[in-house]
A and B are shown apart, each in its own frame.
Chain A
Amino acid sequence: MNIIEAQNLTKRFGELVAVDSVSFGVEKGELFAFLGPNGAGKSTTIKMLTTLLTPTSGKITLNGYDPIENPDEVRHSFGIVFQDPSLDDELTAYENMDFHGVLYGIPRKERQVRIEQLLKFVELWDRKKDFVKHFSGGMKRRLEIARGLLHHPQILFLDEPTLGLDPQTRNHIWSYIKDLSEKEQMTIFFTTHYMQEAERVADRVAVIDHGVIVAQGTPDQLKQQTGAQSLEDAFLDLTGHAIREETADNWERVRRMRGVRR
């Protein structure tokens, strides 16, 4: 049985169909890449899988549970690193980690050990007492990833985890995640815009565009299917070369308006 199963999953926002009758399955222990251009419906799908958003129609099973009927059981099954920031700026790096550890029920001793280990891993241990509001974008990103890895869930959602990080850090983080997945049979569901990353890491890939899944399979299958040399070429073949307008949330819209005025 698949650990993640989506059947005809649909989400409408008024007129806009963000996700349109999407179906896919992810096996336990798999590294599954969910790829698509901006605004394709990736984050909306993740929000529905993680109980943050109610689907308009369709069915989800996550670790055997329905996110609508048993949200608590579903939340016990996964961990998540969000695409946009979700840290408390007014707390220190350590406090953010600790808060997370308490919420996820990690015993105090284990919590202290893991927080130290992970903060050292993302090279933030000597900044542990600093407020997150003083951190740079890359440091915040690293802290978010460290926080997401603090508890070892059955399923880990990573929504563009390595966005804005340098290649060294990205490599470092991916090898850790692969290792974790192998050791603990952890299922990894991730999105990324770095196609080489997906090609290197993912067991299987689904490509979503305009809310519809346009291709699914191993990176090799996708390349064969399109006759492309790399996953990036296959991706461009499948989704076209036109640049997409992301469906912006309120803040992004405000930011963009300010940008225009300048």
Chain B
Amino acid sequence: MGIEVVVEGLTKSFGKQNIWQDVTLTLPAGEVSVMLGPSGTGKTVFLKSLIGLLKPDRGRVLINGVDMVNSPEREIFETRKLFGLMFQDGALFGSMSLFDNIAFPLREHTRKKEAEIRRIVMERIEVVGLLGAERKLPGEISGGMRKRAGLARALVLDPQIILCDEPDSGLDPVRTAYLSQLLIDLNAQIDATMLIVTHNLDIAATVPDNMGMLFRRELVTFGPRELLLTSEEPVVAQFLAGRREGPIGMSEEKDAAALAAEAADPRTRANTPREIVPQLEPSPGLPARRAAARRRERVLGMLDRLPPAARAAIERTYASAPTAPAMPLPAAGSGS
């Protein structure tokens, strides 16, 4: 089962520039969470802070009792073995073939025989659909393939926490939809805690159990997906609708004058309510996600603390399908 990740009061600056401050959230064990945010709000920095690659100025990240910010180097290195991180462009070793790249963690951390390594690696290569390309160098394949190879490498050590940095960037909508399904299938198979950082609306609408959003140097909200999908918060609503009208401007924030002008314009009020797309289910033949049951328990428990719209949405979700039927892939590219 996955491991809970507790983030408390995390603050990060580069020099004088504050990236975000006082981020506090808990990634529930085994569930899939998505962190949204416009470009340049420090989503990748957040991901790297979780794993201890960047050192936040304040705050804690607790994993199994180890603080990834302040603990001794050795404990952080040990704890990192629980992680699988999929980098934005794969971050493969340029001098090694895909096979050696994916085998790298196994060769470093286990004493497995070469035959055993080969079996595991080929299995992962098949999962991400790269069979036949294992002898190629990272420079010889497309960006999407590099991404998938990066995912395969993140998976070989059976991580309990999987972090994905923009899994959709550079992928076409169809491949993005397949990747979404792949992530859900993985979650069903290994029950790992997952955090996906993205600004892709399809992934946000169909994959996660929980969602959060970073904007203006802080965490706007974090909670069950229904909470954000029904949110009246202008930033969240604007982002999920992919509109120009709202607090998010081209250069991150709009000035007050532009906002006032927008508010006065009657056309911008034509706000169609979003409908909540059902969450993806694991492919037929795979076990049900164990996290789903845990989440149901957890979310129903916190129901009275949620705003009415979110509560209603959650009640609808759980009323309509006690054991939800397997969903086909959603129409790709419909979000933006």
B is a partner of A: no
